[in-house]
Chain A
Amino acid sequence: MEAIVHHLSPLLNEITGFIYPNEIELHWSLLIVLYPYITGLVAGAFILASLVKVFNVRELQPVYRLSLLTALSFMLVATLPLLAHLGRPERAFEILMTPNVTSAMAMFGFVYAWYLMAVLLLEIWFDYRRDLILWADQAKGLKRALYRVLSLFSRDVSEKALDFDNRAERVITVLGIPSAFLLHGYVGFIFGSVKANPWWSSVLMPIVFLFSAIVSGIALVLLIYMIVTPLRKQSIDMFCLEKLAAFLLYAMIVDFSLEILDFIHRVYESEESIHILAELVKGKLFISLVVVQVLVGMVIPLLTISGMRMFKAADELKKLAYFVSALLVQVGIFSTRWNVVIGGQLFSKSFRGLTVYKMSFLGIEGLLTGILILVLPLLILSTLLKVLPPWKESHNSL
């Protein structure tokens, strides 16, 4: 009690205009910013992988498994920020046991479970099955046991079985694309369906979420590929990198167009809430929205990538440019999530005033927890890369 009073009291002096007295506490904090950010990365990375399997984009083969493992690593921590944010985390399972069918949020457990179990894990298992069997045959002791368990004790590496793996994978990926759309479109719906909040309430929200997810996922896999490959003392496959940059560019163009459409639509309709939203964008969100999200996270990388492609720059310059662009895109998409989640709570539903968000460093909802939650999937990924090497060599050497 004292902690919350200590936290909220100074905020009273920073309110501009009038807010409802209960609105001083900002309820969805940094952790809820991380939730759509992380699920976006999952959906984006998976859709990138599906480009290889379903749309036969051969150039992207080197990052196919990498993007699946990336999606899995982030998927495994996607529930953490939600759980940590609950007032009563010990009751979290009630969402699965006694879901309220009219609640968009109640569907999360099912969407999550479907995506993790029926799509990601199955696809990865079918893709790795042959390798797991062969690795188990080569390894000894504990490692052998591990691969045996991971392969679920299957032994069949006949032509027919491998053919089945391939077909199964295709079917799962075809199912996986709408599932990935569902996963992240659904997260957008959680916000987009709140009619009380004009900043969120938009039918475009799930679609904007989806395309920003694809953007962030491709950028993340590009970054990981460019970091891990030199660490493995291998050279970066330029065809692959070019394709990654190309798809990143296409997704960014769609994403940016949708965001502009949303902006124009709001300004043109000019509803009751437009004055307070304008005040918000010109004031408290100016840096994070106009500067970071639009300029640094979208316009600059958009121009850089298209410039590199137009003027046929040298490989080394391209690598640098793509790397920096992907990094900026990550920052941009993170601030997109920030601007939706935090921005949507900075104005009063009386449309008469603005409030503030003060992030703490320590504590369950603090910056430190946020950083840990973002580092954790990278640790999981580095472990997965060791246990299930996604590289061509480890596949071919057998």
Chain B
Amino acid sequence: MERPNRIKAARPAVERRHFLKTALMAALGFASPVLSRTKDTMKRMQAWIAGTDYDPSEHYYGMAVDVDKCIGCGSCAAACKTENGVPEEPFFFKTWVERYRIFEDGSSEVDSPEGAVNGFRRITEDGRSPIRNFFVPKLCNHCDNPPCVQVCPVGATYKTPDGVVLMDREYCIGCRYCIQACPYGARYLDPVNKTADKCTFCYHRVVKGLEPACVENCPTEARIFGEVKKKASPLMRFRRMNKISVLKPALNTEPKVYYANLDMEVR
């Protein structure tokens, strides 16, 4: 009888294979509660942050700015610093306001003293009278094609399903490539945590159905926050009623901050 012998000879290999198989299955078995637990934890975390009834896939956010309505009071910039714990020093901003003065000879002057958190002082001493005068609020454009997300070497900055560009400060390595890649100067390095930081559209408020702090604090309703894609949203209405521009369209970043009545001098 040859057969049993052959089986006997091959036995160690079979045993090894069998052992490996069992070991693998056992490992997976042990890991499965952990795996499913992480998934559960993730879900719970999401629910905790966002509230259980919030589904990001149902939203897509943007902002509109009516340049003609901005009075340069700087309430938005100040409110942002308070709401988001942005360092008070005038080197770190998630939003700020710029003042443009355009003169007859085609020259122009722009300023944004301390990001306009304290508003602007009237300029009279230079004796020049501009032919156009206006304020432009600036913030992260939450681009649809964000160069900052493209360049981040570890994926610490990312686009959420609801169209907001966020930063993971626990993951960022502080290489600052995103700051270099942002054409709008919307990012800075958090001087304490040494990681990049930026406007979040006040995501912590938005997911609870509230408006971003800058929008809520604007006395003239120059900023409108809302759904980009829903027909009934105030943002969509704004985009129907106005001629819209975005900043630096040639760079194909596809910004989701839409400006009405934007002057050609604004970059």
* B191 contacts A by Cβ under 8 Å: yes
**Bound Cα distance A336, B149 (Å):** 29
* A118 contacts B by Cβ under 8 Å: no
Within 8 A of A (CB), among B72-119: 87, 89-93, 96, 98, 109-112, 114-115
* B180 contacts A by Cβ under 8 Å: yes
Which chain B residues lie closer than 8 Å to A5 at the CB level?
Answer: 89, 91, 191
**Bound Cα distance A8, B177 (Å):** 20
- Out of A8, A91, A196, A352, name the residue touching B91 (CB < 8 Å): A8
B110 touches A350 (CB 8 A): yes
Interface residues of A, Cβ cutoff 8 Å to B: 1, 4-5, 8, 12, 17-25, 27-28, 82, 85-89, 91-92, 94-95, 98-100, 102-106, 108, 190, 194-197, 345, 348-352
What is the minimal beta-carbon distance from A160 to any residue of chain B, in angstroms? 37
Number of B interface residues at 8 Å Cβ cutoff, please give it: 48
A98 touches B155 (CB 8 A): yes
- Out of B174, B175, B187, B251, name the residue touching A22 (CB < 8 Å): B187
Shortest 9 CB-CB distances between A and B: which pairs? Answer: A87-B174, A20-B185, A87-B194, A196-B183, A106-B153, A100-B155, A18-B110, A105-B153, A27-B176
A5-B89, A20-B185, A196-B251 known; A352-B180 Cβ under 8 A: no
**Bound Cα distance A18, B116 (Å):** 14
* B151 contacts A by Cβ under 8 Å: yes
B177 touches A105 (CB 8 A): yes
A196 touches B147 (CB 8 A): yes
B150 touches A92 (CB 8 A): no
Which chain B residues lie closer than 8 Å to A105 at the CB level?
Answer: 151, 153, 175, 177
A18 touches B112 (CB 8 A): yes
Q: Which residue of B lies closest to A5 (CB)?
A: B89
Which chain B residues lie closer than 8 Å to A28 at the CB level?
Answer: 176, 180
**Bound Cα distance A87, B112 (Å):** 28
- Could you mark each residue 166-186 of chain B with 1 if its beta carbon is under 8 Å from any beta carbon of chain A, else 0? 000001111111011111111
- List 8 contacting pairs A-B, 8 Å CB cutoff, sorted by A: A18-B111, A18-B112, A20-B184, A22-B185, A82-B175, A94-B154, A195-B183, A196-B251
A99 touches B153 (CB 8 A): yes
Q: Which residue of A lies closest to B266 (CB)?
A: A350
